[in-house]
Chains A and B, each alone.
Chain A
Amino acid sequence: MLQMLYKKIKKNFWMVLCLIIGASMAVSLVSSVPIYTKGILTRVLSTDLKKMQYEDKVFPGAYCITKNMENIKKDDIKESYDTINPVIESKIIPDIGLPVLSKKVIFKTADDLNIVNTHDDVVRNMRVEGISDFENHIEIINGKSLKDSSSESGVYNALISQRTAKNMDLYTGKTYELQCEDNPKLTKIKVVGIYKYKDENDPYWQLEDWEHSDSFIINFDDFNNKFIKNESFSLSEITWYTAFDYSKMNLNNVKAIKSAYEKQASLINDKYDAAASFLVSDKLDDYINKESKLQNILMIFQVPIIIMVIFYMIMISTLIIDRDKNEIAILKSRGADKKQILKIYLCESLFVSLIALIIGPPFGMFCCKVMGIPSGFLKFNDRLPITVSLTKTEYLYSIIILIIFIAAMMIPALNASKVSIVEYKQSKVRKSAKPLWQRFYLDIAFLLVSLYGMNNYFGRQNIVQITGVDSSSIPIDPIIYLIFSLFVLSLGMLFLRLYPHIINIIFHIGRKRWSPSSYISLNNVKRSDGKNQFIMIFLIFTISIGLFSISSAGTINNDLENNIKYMCGADVKLKSFWTPINAKTAESKKVPLIYVEPDYKIYKELKGVKSSCKVFSSKDGVININSRDIGKTFVMGINPYEFGKTAWFPQNLLYPSFNYYLNLLSQSKSNVLISNNLMESNDVKVGDLVYIKWGNSRMIPCVVAGSINYWPTFNPSEYLSSDFVVGNLDYFQYRMPLEPYEVWLKLKDANSLNLLYKDIKDKNLEFQYIDSMEDKITKEKSDPTLQGINGTLTLSFIATLIITAIGFLIYWILSIKARVLQFGILRAMGMSLKKLIKVLINEQILISGVSILMGFIIGNISVKIFSPLVNIMADKSEQILPSGIIPISNTESINMGIGILSMILIGLLILSRYVSKIKIDQALKLGED
């Protein structure tokens, strides 16, 4: 059996290699999804955790267990501590599974201990603490450390922080008397030194303990052994603090960490009556959710690629089996039964799958590492490679896909094994019938199924729109991607059904004029009987999907970018410092603040600025319609001409155009535009008089000139700001005292932002804030979903190209091999090599060229139909602008076209070389058996 398998593989070595490449490619792709998801989220996790530590000043690895000791009798304290401490030390901390950076135990009294008998009457509430390992982490800045101080009997030596010393007015070397309110006994405490942290970033200090303010810190052992026993104060709580190395958290262990923590929290609570808190735990929840969501999205994006690879596998295994058919038939005639034959093929598929399983996942990981995280579709950047590793998940996915492949590879074998030698020879002589799918009208059936599916899908879309349900709450249905694939497939098949007839017509039209090469190629194409259809449908499908990937990625990136641009309003927005000249009197006299306008000219003179405009806006405006006040209206005042030149706004977003509405505003100073929502819900008509005000201003009479749904920075889907009014700033300023406004700038080109920043620095200008569109876009692009989609689409796209190239070459080489005899005859008849190569070129044009063209056409059609799908996929619940309002540039499609063209050229070169090597006399011998 093994020997037979070996012989079989040896015979079809190149084909088996192609199968292995295909399968490995698919496995790499599939396993790259979890790798990518984890990689991206791990990076997001680590940046977020770092942000938590350095910006929010919260150490994410801080783990606290606090036991309240107020109700524990003094005699039981030691026992209580001794039962819980070993559990924490030996079980709870190791269970989290992260390296421990630092830990400490803190004993605390209540914080209402009074310092009595002082020189003044100030009430000083203090607490006393014992902290383990304390002195190794501090520096004494005044006085001595605890261990260097001599002890007097009856007096406890203590350290205090700088803050305590300052707040409580305490001094080094002084002894203070502490007293608990309900107990007359006095306890003497001597401040021997003032400390500060040795290293502020030491994880030992990362617990939010506010520098142990208002605390006397005494020796940890003294606290346990003497202080609590002998003094009148009761223990308030014990805290076990552990600082874990949070940088070791990744998507592989968050689930384990999270579940370990949850188990511990309830155990600690139930059994030891203590509370556990792990600051990062809520964040982890977030990530676990994000992970599965991202994984789903990415997976769905790969469905068509997988279908394409399945296609490829069927194609290659059909080719293999075509070559083996003779052998199978002979085997059968010698008494081998169907099962035995299938077994050989099963072994072969298993062999291929095994190799794919070994190569695939590491290769997928390699690709992810090489790519890092792309900043856009087919855009790589040089950021550090993501840390990724292989786990069970990748292999699970790989195995699932391989099982599908084995099935795909077995289908042609199953068909072939049914045929006996007699039937095989007969079928060889018989003029082959139409392919199965044509006889059963599978193309029409597929088309109907996909149309039905589409109808359902769009029906659901409507429901979403009508009910206003957040689209992300509707589960993404992978079926829709199947529908897409079916749709592309059915259109391709439908075309293939017609294609031979079209060629036939062309053939007959020019029958008398065809050159021998054209005659042969046209004839080959119109009579190919399904042989060429595989490669044609494969190419059509591949290219449609490639186009879809490109356009999906383009749409997602583009929409996101446009959204940001729209919400930003302009390239740069800034606001100067506006100081009112009547700040002190205004409030008491209830008059509006009076400002002096900063010099506006400076903005125009800044380097890199193309145009600028003043934009006044207020979020707490009020509009009075029909004597009724409507609050929380967003009011904006602009100068239409300058605003139109400066703001980012697609003309076609408003009907008839943005400029039309700007013109409406400039027609009369008192004209305003109001949001559709205001117009509709308040029964306002164009020409109506309304009043607007904001802050403490008076009512300004305005005339409604039109209604709008979009305006720079205005989000119509946001509930609170759905009321919106735009008017003329000059009119507002004429009616009202001057108010601070923003300045919007439009930049000259891509480099202008740096110029602008530099110029601002050089001129020493200072602003309340300066926001740039570009910075915001860069920031938004690090969104994990977006990065994941871009990465997956890029990977898939590259894989598509590679698989197409291999499929294309192998198909053509084999088809030439099968036609060596024909070429021999043609050469013998006196056809020159040049003409023979022309035959090949013609066939490439008629088969590959036409398929590619059809792929582009069908791809474009399906992109048009299915692009709303992409929006749902990308879960853009924050989408404001309608998708695709600005057409995507088609550089990538052109690149794909160039890629495919060069692939065909390379293929042609290889084929021509192969054909020119055919020896006529030897080719003719092939026919003699």
Chain B
Amino acid sequence: MDNIIIKGTNLCRYYKSGEQTINALKNVDIEIKEGTLTILRGRSGAGKTTLINILGAIDRPDAGEVYFNNAELSSLTDKERDEVRRINYGFVFQSIALIPNMTAYENIEFELLLSNYPASERDSRIKDCLKLVGLSNRAVHFPSQLSGGEAQRIAIARSIAHKPKVIFADEPTGALDTKMGLQVVNVFKSLVQNEKLTVVMTTHDPNMMEIADYVYTLQDGEIVNE
């Protein structure tokens, strides 16, 4: 149970802003255990998003290594990283990143298409996912016709549809009020408990901490406690 699925060692990331170099991440070491809900917390600018992007193979670290199931990721080509993301990862973003001109159903269908999910099982999988996030009745609606919380739950449904191993969620509740935020987090919680998924999530909302298995606090690009 306590397998380490993702490991980051000595991660550094700089941004050049004019003459200045901003150290967004400084020698961060982090381990994510399989089947847990891990929260990265910190103020805005602390490096949460940078860290989650690096862990999720969206961004590359300037120094250090990221391992997924003991495979080093930063040395892979873009194409291979695309592959890792497509098969093993799911993403939920703060901006409710659904494709606006696709219905809830189609958004999920597209994800399945992308990860080569068998065509015959797609329909039932989509329906399962919608059920899982409690939005079976919203299948034919467009993102613009959903409330923020609903849309984010669809985004979660999409991120889990292809049965990834890890879900990365960057401020999934950032654009939502507390009530909706809790709904979303509860979905994550139940996914971890029932589907044995691993969830990595950033947030600055202290209310979320109690549901997490692990919490890392980031400050100025460093992890300050565990």
Name the B residues within 8 Å of A430 (CB-CB): 144
Contact of B136 with A by CB under 8 A: no
- Contact between chains at A830 and B86 (CB < 8 Å): yes
Residue-by-residue, is A825-836 near B (CB-CB < 8 Å gives 1, otherwise 0)?
111111111100
- Contact between chains at B58 and A830 (CB < 8 Å): no
- Contact between chains at A429 and B144 (CB < 8 Å): yes
Name the B residues within 8 Å of A828 (CB-CB): 56, 58, 85, 91, 93, 97
B97: contacting residue among A512, A520, A528, A825, CB under 8 A: A825
Contact of A6 with B by CB under 8 A: no
**Bound CA span A524–B109, Å:** 15
**Bound CA span A829–B111, Å:** 8
**Bound CA span A140–B148, Å:** 111
**Bound CA span A516–B106, Å:** 11
When C-beta atoms are compared, the residue in chain A nearest to B102 turns out to be A523
- Contact between chains at B93 and A920 (CB < 8 Å): no
B109 → chain A, closest Cβ, in Å?
Answer: 8
- Contact between chains at B114 and A924 (CB < 8 Å): no
B130 → chain A, closest Cβ, in Å?
Answer: 18
**Bound CA span A367–B102, Å:** 49
**Bound CA span A829–B107, Å:** 11
B151 → chain A, closest Cβ, in Å?
Answer: 11
Contact of B94 with A by CB under 8 A: yes
- Contact between chains at A928 and B87 (CB < 8 Å): no
Contact of B99 with A by CB under 8 A: yes
A726 → chain B, closest Cβ, in Å?
Answer: 72
**Bound CA span A927–B175, Å:** 11
User: Quick one: given A828-B58, A833-B78, are A523 and B97 in contact (CB under 8 Å)?
Assistant: no
A830: contacting residue among B53, B59, B87, B174, CB under 8 A: B87
Contact of B71 with A by CB under 8 A: no
User: Quick one: given A830-B85, A830-B115, A832-B79, are A520 and B110 in contact (CB under 8 Å)?
Assistant: yes
Contact of B68 with A by CB under 8 A: no
Contact of A515 with B by CB under 8 A: yes
Name the B residues within 8 Å of A248 (CB-CB): none
Contact of A672 with B by CB under 8 A: no
Name the A residues within 8 Å of B1 (CB-CB): none
**Bound CA span A928–B174, Å:** 9
Query: CB within 8 Å of B: which of A906-920?
Result: 920
- Contact between chains at A512 and B119 (CB < 8 Å): yes
User: Quick one: given A831-B86, A833-B78, A928-B94, are A527 and B110 in contact (CB under 8 Å)?
Assistant: no
- Contact between chains at B110 and A825 (CB < 8 Å): no
B114 → chain A, closest Cβ, in Å?
Answer: 5
- Contact between chains at A832 and B144 (CB < 8 Å): no
B178 → chain A, closest Cβ, in Å?
Answer: 19
**Bound CA span A171–B83, Å:** 116
- Contact between chains at A523 and B106 (CB < 8 Å): yes
**Bound CA span A830–B161, Å:** 14
Contact of B100 with A by CB under 8 A: yes
- Contact between chains at B106 and A921 (CB < 8 Å): no
When C-beta atoms are compared, the residue in chain B nearest to A428 turns out to be B144
- Contact between chains at B142 and A431 (CB < 8 Å): yes
- Contact between chains at B101 and A829 (CB < 8 Å): no
- Contact between chains at A830 and B114 (CB < 8 Å): yes
- Contact between chains at A431 and B145 (CB < 8 Å): yes
Instruction: Report, as a range, how many residues of chain A touch the other chain.
Output: 20 to 34
B113: contacting residue among A514, A827, A834, CB under 8 A: A514
Contact of A16 with B by CB under 8 A: no
**Bound CA span A926–B119, Å:** 33
Contact of A811 with B by CB under 8 A: no
A522 → chain B, closest Cβ, in Å?
Answer: 11
**Bound CA span A833–B78, Å:** 9
**Bound CA span A828–B94, Å:** 13
**Bound CA span A621–B114, Å:** 87
Residue-by-residue, is A20-32 near B (CB-CB < 8 Å gives 1, otherwise 0)?
0000000000000
**Bound CA span A822–B100, Å:** 8
A697 → chain B, closest Cβ, in Å?
Answer: 87
When C-beta atoms are compared, the residue in chain A nearest to B114 turns out to be A516
- Contact between chains at B106 and A821 (CB < 8 Å): no
Query: CB within 8 Å of A: which of B115-131?
Result: 115, 119, 122
Residue-by-residue, is A806-827 near B (CB-CB < 8 Å gives 1, otherwise 0)?
0000000000000001101111
Query: CB within 8 Å of A: which of B53-78?
Result: 53, 56, 58-59, 78
Name the B residues within 8 Å of A424 (CB-CB): none
**Bound CA span A827–B145, Å:** 25
- Contact between chains at A924 and B97 (CB < 8 Å): yes
Interface SS majority for chain A: helix
Contact of A519 with B by CB under 8 A: yes
Contact of B188 with A by CB under 8 A: no
Contact of B82 with A by CB under 8 A: yes
Chain B: residues with Cβ within 8 Å of the partner, total of 37
- Contact between chains at B95 and A821 (CB < 8 Å): yes
Query: CB within 8 Å of B: which of A490-531?
Result: 512-516, 519-520, 523-524, 527-529
Name the A residues within 8 Å of B79 (CB-CB): 832, 834
User: Quick one: given A523-B106, A825-B99, are A921 and B82 in contact (CB under 8 Å)?
Assistant: no
Name the A residues within 8 Å of B111 (CB-CB): 829
A605 → chain B, closest Cβ, in Å?
Answer: 75
**Bound CA span A834–B83, Å:** 12
Which of B53, B78, B97 is most buried by chain A, counting CB atoms within 10 A of its CB? B97
- Contact between chains at B82 and A830 (CB < 8 Å): yes
- Contact between chains at A519 and B113 (CB < 8 Å): yes
- Contact between chains at A829 and B86 (CB < 8 Å): yes
Name the B residues within 8 Å of A832 (CB-CB): 78-79, 82
Name the A residues within 8 Å of B144 (CB-CB): 429-431
Name the A residues within 8 Å of B89 (CB-CB): 830
**Bound CA span A515–B142, Å:** 22
B165 → chain A, closest Cβ, in Å?
Answer: 13
Name the B residues within 8 Å of A520 (CB-CB): 99, 110
**Bound CA span A527–B143, Å:** 13
**Bound CA span A822–B101, Å:** 10
**Bound CA span A514–B91, Å:** 23
Query: CB within 8 Å of B: which of A427-452?
Result: 429-431
**Bound CA span A429–B96, Å:** 13
- Contact between chains at A831 and B82 (CB < 8 Å): yes
When C-beta atoms are compared, the residue in chain B nearest to A920 turns out to be B58
User: Quick one: given A523-B106, A830-B115, A833-B78, are A822 and B99 in contact (CB under 8 Å)?
Assistant: yes
- Contact between chains at B114 and A927 (CB < 8 Å): no
Query: CB within 8 Å of A: which of B146-199?
Result: 174
A924: contacting residue among B86, B95, B102, B119, CB under 8 A: B95
Name the A residues within 8 Å of B53 (CB-CB): 921
When C-beta atoms are compared, the residue in chain A nearest to B98 turns out to be A825
- Contact between chains at B95 and A524 (CB < 8 Å): no
**Bound CA span A665–B97, Å:** 84
**Bound CA span A827–B53, Å:** 13
- Contact between chains at A928 and B91 (CB < 8 Å): no
- Contact between chains at B114 and A829 (CB < 8 Å): yes
A524: contacting residue among B58, B94, B97, B101, CB under 8 A: B101
**Bound CA span A285–B144, Å:** 70
Name the B residues within 8 Å of A529 (CB-CB): 101
When C-beta atoms are compared, the residue in chain B nearest to A525 turns out to be B101
When C-beta atoms are compared, the residue in chain B nearest to A825 turns out to be B97
**Bound CA span A828–B55, Å:** 12
When C-beta atoms are compared, the residue in chain A nearest to B79 turns out to be A832
- Contact between chains at B86 and A928 (CB < 8 Å): no
**Bound CA span A2–B208, Å:** 51
Query: CB within 8 Å of B: which of A751-797?
Result: none
20 examples of A-B residue contacts, CB within 8 angstroms: A430-B144, A431-B144, A512-B122, A513-B119, A516-B113, A520-B110, A527-B102, A822-B99, A822-B100, A825-B97, A829-B86, A829-B114, A830-B82, A832-B79, A833-B78, A834-B79, A924-B97, A926-B95, A927-B94, A928-B95
Shortest 8 CB-CB contacts between residues of A and residues of B: A830-B86, A927-B95, A830-B85, A527-B101, A825-B97, A832-B82, A512-B119, A516-B114
Question: Known pairs A833-B78, A920-B59, A927-B97. 19 more at Cβ < 8 A?
Answer: A431-B142, A515-B113, A516-B113, A519-B110, A523-B101, A523-B106, A524-B101, A821-B97, A822-B100, A828-B85, A830-B84, A830-B86, A831-B86, A832-B78, A921-B59, A924-B58, A924-B93, A928-B95, A928-B174
